[in-house]
Structure 1
Amino acid sequence: MEDFLSDDQLRKQIRHAKRIVVKFGSSAVSKPAGGVDRVRIDHYVEALEKRMARGGDVTVVSSGAVATGFGSLGFRQRPQELAAKQASAAVGQVQLAAQWAESFGRFDRTTAQLLLTASDAGSRERTRNAQRTIERLRSMQAVPIVNENDTVATSEMRFGDNDRLAAIVAHLIAADALILLSDVDGLYDRNPSDPTARFISEVRTGHDLDGVVAGGGGALGTGGMAAKVSAARLAARGGVPVLLTSSENVERALEDASVGTVFHPRPDKRLSAWKFWALYAADAEGVLRIDLGAMTAVTSGGSSLLPVGVTDVDGEFHAGDIVEIIGPNGESIGRGEVGYDSRVLRSMLGKRSDDLPEDLRRPVIHADYLSNWASRL
């Protein structure tokens, strides 16, 4: 049995975390009829400033561009048509950035806005650029304000209500904790308006979620509790402890982590930045199908994937691309950085290294560049 921390121990760890990511949902920063909720953002910044005064290092992930901007364009409610949402986001991003800057400016804090899309996260080069930018801003005592670039993102290429984005950013900067703030004070096994709903204080594994029914987003948001739970588990799989609570609890969440639901990271070694990116953010350019022996080797033995274990290749890709690995029964095994072009690899299927030319005897995917799902369940 894995040696997880106790609930109190994990909350203490979050309480003393130095490098934290704090995510605010759409309803937390905008008004129902559109526009920035200046009073609440000022309140959040005061709580964040107190945490930073204790030595904390904060990166903010802020939703709300569409929810903030639609009223200024004359819409009576959040639009559903893509172009209208993108237009609303273009207006709202300016308003949000200005308000975060004004609120932090009261404490002589400089803010910077970073707009990302899922395709940015899928590119290793752009991910590294974002990582370097955030690190440089933090080193200069500026507060990064990260948001999804809704002006160009499509419905097929979105992070959700920034919950998944927050999890990816948390791992990207090697955060010590992620705090997800929504409009619910924590996780319940059903709608919290139901008087029989049971509050869930901590989540260690997926078994703690058995029987939990999580709903979708509200009128202003797009994520909902299901998206937040998914993002929390994603961050935890990568080694980042998570606190999920409401934006109304922001002070207690940042001060002593005594509220909400905590998600435990796995006690084993934290995933490297590359392996986390390959598993959860990268765009897969193709598929490798492998036999039972190869599946056992890469999931249990920590071995490289060799040509003899590959049974089929789907898609067209180049050496250095990320590919999906599928087992003999169609199960997803993991992902890795492939060492050969798809055309070359097709000529190597099922062959032992000794039967190949000297220049084709390296692994299809080296163990250092292979990450499997089995170790993260």
Structure 2
Amino acid sequence: MKSVIPHAKRLIVKIGSSLLTDNGKGLDHAAIARWAAQIAQLRSLGKEIILVSSGAIAEGMLRLGFDKRPADIHKLQACAAVGQMGLIQIYESSFRAYHIHTAQVLLTHADLSDRERYLNARSTLLELLHMGVIPIINENDTVVTDEIQFGDNDTLGALVANLVEAHALIILTDQEGLFNADPRKNPEAELIRYARAGDPELEKMAGGAGSEIGRGGMLTKVLAAKRAARSGAHTVIAWGKLENVLVRLAAGEMIGSQLEAPSGHLQAKKQWMIDHLQTAGKVFLDTGAVQKVLKDGKSLLPIGVTEIRGDFRRGEVIACFDESGREIARGLSNYSSSDAQRILRHNSSEIADILGYHGAPELIHRDNLVLL
């Protein structure tokens, strides 16, 4: 088995908090300098690199005098705001030694949920890569609340991989890779060298949360690989403290766990829809509608919808569920939630009489529908 990294031109490299900090003592300047040196070597091989970096909260904790991670969300936000300054300062000075420019990009999942902002973010990142700049991405922890609690930069790395159609996502962590059991509890646990991203068995094997500094466990990495695979990106989960791990991966060495993507990938608009972590609303389908959507590849008609939840506008992404509550698809609604409520369980021929205008016959057209 060979590493997929040598043939991957555009890479997303995600580095976890434990690899950037000195056991809770703030950022490890020497470690960040080593990462910059390795990334500079990858750049010399013609690779485009986007860096997704944790570490802001850990640095902020040090600067503000916290000896353990605060539980209060506003204190976490304050740590993130203060620590982000130090994080970017160190990256900038480290890459300057190799005459490489860097750019700070702070994102939230809301930025990637809005189609216009999604396209703007994509255009900016691609232009930065074209100019030879290394974007350094972090979640905008000062304005979000739910993501800080889960240490979600693994998912952010996958979202960025989809955003710029990267060839591979490298997740560097404090574990050697994915094991078939928790190696901290089971000495017989075996490292999984190769698997298909999205294999349900991988999620069963993944453990719980990580260290006290970061909150991302192995499960978030497995789910990130599954998400990245939808746009055709392979994922490698590797031990970040292995000497020259990035350079060795680029040279073809099999390190850690390689989770390969299927050969195909979703078209850009459908990938954008599936990347929504939160949808604007929910619709529940009867058995007949589920059959037509999943098996026959048909559009979703109002007559097949039994229930509508949420407040959404025309053109927003909504989730489709079967009668058991399983999400089966997502799509762009042709109607607002208020209008959809009025036409559900009705034939398309009745829409004009009910609403007083001629709208689309479908609640979601099949061209705007993606199956899960």
Q: Tell me how far apart the structure 2 counterparts of residues 133 and 323 of structure 1 sit (CA, whole Å).
A: 27
Matched, 1:342 2:333: no
Residue 304 of structure 1 corresponds to which residue in structure 2? 299
Q: Any stretches of 5+ residues in structure 1 without a counterpart? A: 1-6
Matched, 1:53 2:53: no
Shift of the 128–361 alpha-carbon distance from structure 1 to 2, 3 Å rule, reads closer
Alignment of 1:1-377 (within 5 A): 7-8=1-2, 11=3, 13-155=4-146, 160-193=151-184, 194-204=186-196, 205-209=198-202, 212-249=205-242, 250=245, 251-267=247-263, 269-281=264-276, 283-357=278-352, 359-373=358-372
Number of matched pairs: 363
Q: What is the DSSP-based 3-state SS (H/G/I as helix, E as strand, rest coil) of the residue aligned with 2:314?
A: coil
Q: When the two structures are superposed, what TM-score results if normalisation uses the length of structure 2?
A: 0.91
Q: What is the DSSP-based 3-state SS (H/G/I as helix, E as strand, rest coil) of the residue aligned with 2:223?
A: helix
Q: What is the DSSP-based 3-state SS (H/G/I as helix, E as strand, rest coil) of the residue aligned with 2:266?
A: coil
Q: What is the DSSP-based 3-state SS (H/G/I as helix, E as strand, rest coil) of the residue aligned with 2:343?
A: coil
Shift of the 75–369 alpha-carbon distance from structure 1 to 2, 3 Å rule, reads same
Is the CA contact (8 Å cut-off) linking 1:298 and 1:304 kept in structure 2?
yes
Q: Tell me how far apart the structure 1 counterparts of residues 211 and 148 of structure 2 sit (CA, whole Å).
A: 20
Is the CA contact (8 Å cut-off) linking 1:119 and 1:157 kept in structure 2?
no
Q: When the two structures are superposed, what TM-score results if normalisation uses the length of structure 1?
A: 0.90
| Deviations, residues 281-332 of structure 1 (Å, cap 9, x unaligned) | 2531211121212112211222211222222222222111111111133221
For the aligned residue pairs, the C-alpha RMSD in angstroms reads 2.0
Higher mean displacement: 72-81 or 90-99? 72-81
Q: Any stretches of 5+ residues in structure 2 without a counterpart? A: none
Tell me by how many angstroms 1:347 deviates: 2.6
Higher mean displacement: 166-175 or 290-299? 290-299
Tell me by how many angstroms 1:362 deviates: 3.1
Shift of the 211–305 alpha-carbon distance from structure 1 to 2, 3 Å rule, reads closer
Is the CA contact (8 Å cut-off) linking 1:118 and 1:158 kept in structure 2?
no
Q: Tell me how far apart the structure 2 counterparts of residues 117 and 207 of structure 1 sit (CA, whole Å).
A: 27
Q: Tell me how far apart the structure 1 counterparts of residues 120 and 68 of structure 2 sit (CA, whole Å).
A: 36
Q: Tell me how far apart the structure 1 counterparts of residues 203 and 119 of structure 2 sit (CA, whole Å).
A: 37
Is the CA contact (8 Å cut-off) linking 1:117 and 1:157 kept in structure 2?
no
Q: Tell me how far apart the structure 1 counterparts of residues 231 and 256 of structure 2 sit (CA, whole Å).
A: 21
Q: Tell me how far apart the structure 1 counterparts of residues 116 and 33 of structure 2 sit (CA, whole Å).
A: 35
